[in-house]
Structure 1
Amino acid sequence: MLQVLAVTGPIYLVIAAGWLATRWGLFSRAEMRVFGKYVIHLALPALLFNALSQRSVAEVLNPVFAAAYALGSLVAMAAGILWARRVAGKPLSASAIVGMGMSCSNSGFIGFPLVAQVFGAGTAGVGLALAMVVENFLLLPLALAIADGDLGEGAAAQGRAARWRTALAQSLRGVVRNPMIHGIAAGFLFALLGWRLPEAAARAVNLFAASCAAISLFVIGGSLVGIAARGMAHDVTAVAAGKLLLHPLAVLAAVWLLPPMARELQTAVVIMAAVPMLGIYPILAQKHGHDTMAAAAQLGTTVASFVTLTALLWVLR
């Protein structure tokens, strides 16, 4: 257990440092958004480029990893939507946000640092790239399209279909503009063609990539300051259980059902599914008026994940 805590402990100590620094006024929440922009636009793209460009295409393109992550995530999303719709009686937009929270991981800000602690940055980078492709091209566009498709009881089928097409088009435009996708695409291209950056440029990219893990975890901690979960225990518990328990179990089942892959990739895909939801979850929920619930669920899930991730790593070891 001490070996496992040596892996998870640093992750949550940096998150706690970000929370304390923001809580005590050293940084503001607005400044956390600036740090977050740095990670999203510079550090993470550099990290993804490094992880992919320095490996062969055969190592990078692992369809079994992507399929296991996609299948397990779709099961978790469907379960979240069904629970919210049928059990909690929520409207379709709120149900889609619940499904998103249960299925879309914070693979860049928490998943990568955690897998890197276990297997090193190479495996973690490949896992992060494949997970982000699934999240950005499948899970997020699907969840947002379902949320935007809620036109009310009397909506015509034609109007609903038009709204779905518009929502999917908006989601895909966001994917095309995503700098992390640019890093993935450039990394794939360099791996495919066998290119290498000049030494000075490569060292600069390495510097950006090396800064990613600590700053991303620090941002997570600072972003949790000021979030209150009072009065939403039922929703928070359901979303947290779906994200931290159902999602990794569904991905694990997919790993068992699909053809075998390297043991470290099997472990990495389950860890990626077991981390809390993506950092912009409340922002995506804000458009539909569910940002308070999403922020509370993010807080509860992040706090609870210390216990669940430590237990998961202990079991996997």
Structure 2
Amino acid sequence: MLDILAITGPIYLCIAAGFLATRFGVFSKADMRVLGKFVLNFALPALLFSAVSQRPLREVMHTDYLLAYGLGSCTMLLGGYAWARWIDKGEKTYRAYFAMGMCCSNSGYVGYPVVSLTLGAIAPVALALNMVVENLVKLPILMSLADASEASSEGHRRSVWRVLGDTLLGLLRTPMLVAILAGFVCSMLGWHLPGPFGRTVTLFSQATTAVALFVIGGALVGLRMQGKRRTVGKIVIGKLLLHPLCVFIALMWVVPISDPQLRTAALLFAAMPMLGIYPILAQRHGHEDVSAAALLATTVASFFTLNLLLWVLKHYPLA
């Protein structure tokens, strides 16, 4: 068990450092937002570009991974949305955020460090594939559902497809997706950045892990769970237990992933807490309080579930 804690320990110590530094005033919440923007706009795009561009296309484009991870995640998305609509009978716009909390992993801030320490060189490739599924499939669908529900509630007629197209165009302009697409082009054509530019990209990419985890810790300061425990509990169970279960079923029996390391990476990424900007996205429709509470609870609970999963994978690998 100590060797597993050696993997997860630094991850949660970095998160704790960010929490304590913000809690005791070394950094403010505004500082965390600035650091988060640095990660989203510079460090992570540099990491993704390096991961994709420096490998032959056949080593990067794993359609089995995309299909298995996408199928498992979309199954959880539909299940979460259906539960919020027909079982909980939740408010229209919140149904999308309820599902988002269950199916959208924190691949960049928490997932990549864990998978990198566990599996090594395959982690950046899996991260890039995850980002494709997150940004081109799940987030456009979820944000479109929320926006279409809001328009419907206000009496405006705006189809889900129209909203989906607008959302997708907006996401295509994000630095992370631009970096992935540029990386695919360089990989396909065999291009390499000139020495100084390549080393600059590498320097930015090396800043990703520590800064991203530090930002997650700072973002947890001030979050509360009062009055939201039942809803939060459902999201925690969906994200940390049901999402990895859906991905596990997909990658083992529906669309088997041929590479054992990528199988493990897909399962680990699915077992991460939800994406760190979850409350920020939910703020758009006034659901930031319960989303922030879910982020806090899931991040704390993931310390135990991830360590348990790593222990299981150590003794029963996905060979």
The match for 2:9 is 9
Q: C-alpha separation between the residues in 1 aligned to 2:68 and 2:81?
A: 20
Equivalent pair of 2:250/2:256 in contact (CA under 8 Å): no
Q: Secondary structure at the match of 2:202?
A: helix
Relative to 1, partners in 2 of residues 1:153 and 1:47: Cα closer, same or farther, differing over 3 Å? closer
Alpha-carbon separation, structure 1, partners of 2:112 and 2:167: 24
Paired residue secondary structure (1:150): helix
Does residue 313 (structure 1) correspond to residue 292 (structure 2)? The answer is no
- Return 77-86 or 126-135, whichever deviates more: 77-86
2:297 alignment partner, one of 286, 289, 300: 300
Cα distance between partner residues in 1 of 2:100 and 2:77 = 6
Secondary structure in structure 2 of the residue aligned to 1:215: helix
- Residue aligned with 1:105, SS: coil
What TM-score does the superposition give when structure 1 sets the normalisation length? 0.95
Aligned to 1:97: 97
| Of 269, 281, 290, the match for 1:284 | 281
Give 1:192's aligned residue.
188
Cα-to-partner distance string for 1:76-116 (whole Å, 9 max, x where unaligned): 11121122122222022111110011001111111111100
Q: Displacement, 1:153?
A: 8.0
Answer with 217-226 or 140-149: which moved more.
140-149
Q: Could you tell me how far 1:169 is from its partner in structure 2?
A: 2.7
Q: Distance in 2 between matches of 1:2 and 1:167?
A: 49
**Conserved in 1, the CA contact under 8 Å of 2:52 and 2:125?**
yes
Match of 1:249? 245
- Distance verdict in 2 for CA 1:55–1:152, change over 3 Å: closer
Distance 2:20 2:188 in 1: 44
Q: What amino acid does structure 1 have at the position aligned with 2:225?
A: A
Between the aligned partners of 2:170 and 2:243, the Cα distance in structure 1 is 25
Distance of 2:67 and 2:278 partners within structure 1: 23
Structure 1: 4+ residue segments shifted above 6 A: 152-156
Where does residue 129 of structure 2 map in the other structure? 130
Contact 1:92 1:146 in 2 (8 A): no
User: Which amino acid in the other structure matches residue 127 of structure 1?
Assistant: A
Say which is worse superposed, 245-254 or 182-191, in terms of deviation: 182-191
Aligned ranges 1:74-153 → 2 under 5 Å? 74-120=74-120, 122-150=121-149
Give the Cα separation in 2 of the matches to 1:104 and 1:153: 25
State the 1:170 CA deviation: 2.9
TM-aligned CA distance change 1:55 to 1:154, over 3 Å:
closer
- In structure 1, the residue matched to 2:317 is none
| Cα pair 2:65 2:257 within 8 Å, conserved | no
Q: Which amino acid aligns with 1:145?
A: S
- CA distance in structure 2 between the partners assigned to 1:266 and 1:69 by the alignment: 9
Please state how far the C-alpha of 1:151 moved relative to its aligned partner. Answer: 5.2
Letter in 1 for 2:199: R
TM-score normalized with structure 2 length: 0.95
Counterpart for residue 55 of structure 1: 55
Provide Cα deviations, 1:56-83, integer angstroms capped at 9, x if missing partner: 1011000111111111111111121122
Residue 284 (structure 1) shift: 1.1
- Contact kept? 2:93, 2:150, Cα under 8 Å: no
Contact 2:232–2:294, Cα closer than 8 Å, also in 1? yes
Is it true that 1:170 corresponds to 2:166 in the alignment?
yes
The C-alpha deviation readout for 1:255-284, integer Å capped at 9, x for no partner, is 112134111000000111110111111111
Give me the whole-angstrom Cα distance separating, in 1, the residues matched to 2:71 and 2:111: 18
SS at match of 1:89: coil
**Is the deviation greater in 252-261 or in 20-29?**
252-261
Give the 3 Å change call, closer, same or farther, for CA 154–242 of structure 1 in structure 2: closer
Residue from 233, 236, 240 that aligns with 1:237 = 233
Q: How does 1:34-45 map to 2 (within 5 A)?
A: 34-45=34-45
Rate the CA distance shift 1:46–1:309 in 2: closer, same or farther, 3 A: same
Task: Report if the CA contact (8 A) 1:148-1:163 is conserved.
Answer: no
Structure 2 unaligned regions, length at least 5: 315-319
Distance in 2 between the 1:123 and 1:153 partners?
Answer: 44
Unaligned segments of structure 1, at least 5 residues: none
CA RMSD, Structure 1 to Structure 2 (Å): 1.5
* Secondary structure, counterpart of 2:85 in structure 1: helix
Separation of aligned partners in 1, 2:24 and 2:150: 44
The answer to whether 1:268 aligns with 2:293 is: no
Q: Which residue identity does 2:135 align to in structure 1?
A: N
